[in-house]
Amino acid sequence: MKINIYGMGYVGCVSAACLAQDGHEVTGIDVDPVKVNLINRKKSPIIEPGLAELIRKVVASGNLKASSNGAGPADVSIVCVGTPSNRNGSLQLEYIKRVAEQIGGCLKKMASYHVVNIRSTVLPGTVEDVIIPILEERSQKRAGKDFGVCMNPEFLREGTSIKDYYHPPFTVIGQIDKKSGDAVGKLYGTIENTAVLKTAIRVAEMVKYTCNTFHALKVTFANEIGNICKAVGVDSHELMDIFCQDTKLNISSYYLKPGFAFGGSCLPKDLRAVLYKAKMLDLDLPLLDAILKSNAHQIDTAYDLIKDTGKRAIGVLGLSFKPGTDDLRESPMVELVEKLIGKGYQVHIYDHEVSLAKLFGSNKRYIEQMIPHISTLLKPSIEEVVSDAELVLVGKSNQDIQQAVAKTNGSRVVLDLVRLFSTRPEKVVHYEGICW
């Protein structure tokens, strides 16, 4: 394929050299004549292990050249220009806007279906709300009909970028249409044993930010755990080596599902114990300290969503803190229900496990002594709760609840805290998730 790459910075240079090595005809485009001259003289404009040798080889082969005078005909344009931060944290988009204008002018002259592939890191909505309008205005063509657009984030680490290019964790392609996504997918045909994930453009934009935010979170988490370990005489590196060997819960997707607040007999209690110990040791752990505050905020978010609907009769499906248990200790659903009762809402509740517990379960004493006012709101059937509700609040996932919610008619609002469905059920007209 013939490829134009805009921006010969870190990502652009590595991508250009690797694509050229894979047999594509690549033109690297940059406004800086120094970078252009260095590449055309078979030298790397950036310091990166293995890149100088690779550029020397692919320029000598004729597969890579650089230009500062615009682009020639190509199948794909890859945008790798920088998006640095402004003082307030917002992104500078002037470079990517300028490139979009340039590509739009080229598109106007092209008869073939050309794909514009954004590799620069941009926030969700940038491609659709900023870049595509510029491309369409300059080209007088329509995205998805006359030309293609993709968002294809990179996951290259300085110092190991060539290895990362050929061994990525995955390849993410946000596509405006299948034709565009297939064209970009061909760029990575030599990369084996790596999942190619095609998705919506906004999802692909957000993936890079989510990854980097999580990386920053992990560094800070490890540092705060290390600080308290040092204070109590624990080898933090040995501890974290053990911690990371749990790939069932710790290093896994298990808890990484957006939804409602956490609760139960372990997580809140143990977190409070660690924070109390830190205070005794005069340690400041701002990240760990923020966890309970953020968790409480998620309960407030759910309440605000209910309040904004204007509905007063609430049917709650699920009260214990997770499916398959009758445990109500520190259940965030109990806290939310108590708030609703306090604000004068009419509340009815169905929870199969808790109803059994009310009769003979291990939580019977807790229900009778600690939350008797809530236990009186329990109903024996889902149908009774749903039929009396203006708003159905889903706090637990199981097959019975899923079937009942799928049958609700358009007169009821459904607020889902657990993601019962991967896609919105056809009959559930008024449906909202807490964070989706």
SS3 for the chain is: CEEEEECCCHHHHHHHHHHHHCCCEEEEECCCHHHHHHHHCCCCCCCCCCHHHHHHHHHHHCCEEEECCCCCCCCEEEECCCCCECCCCCECCHHHHHHHHHHHHHHHHCCCCCEEEECCCCCCCHHHHHHHHHHHHHHCCCECCCEEEEECCCCCCCCCHHHHHHCCCCEEEEECCHHHHHHHHHHHCCCCCCCEEEECHHHHHHHHHHHHHHHHHHHHHHHHHHHHHHHHCCCHHHHHHHHHCCCCCCCCCCCCCCCCCCCCCCHHHHHHHHHHHHHHCCCCCHHHHHHHHHHHHHHHHHHHHHHHHCCCEEEEECCCCCCCCCCCCCCHHHHHHHHHHHCCCEEEEECHHHHHHHHHCCCHHHHHHHCHHHHCCECCCHHHHHHCCCEEEECCCCHHHHHHHHCCCCCCEEEECCCCCCCCCCCCCEEEECCC
Q: Which residues pair with 174 in a beta bridge?
A: 151, 199
**Beta-carbon count within 10 A of 426 CB:** 7
- CA gap 214, 315 in Å, rounded: 36
Q: Which sequence positions are flagged as catalytic?
A: 266
Residue 20 CB: number of other CB atoms within 10 A? 25
Give burial (CB, 10 Å; 0-12/13-18/19+) of 89.
exposed
Q: List the one residue out of 69, 121, 67 whose CA is nearest residue 95.
A: 121
Kindly tell me the burial class for residue 308, based on how many C-beta atoms sit within 10 Å of its own C-beta (0-12, 13-18, 19 or more).
exposed
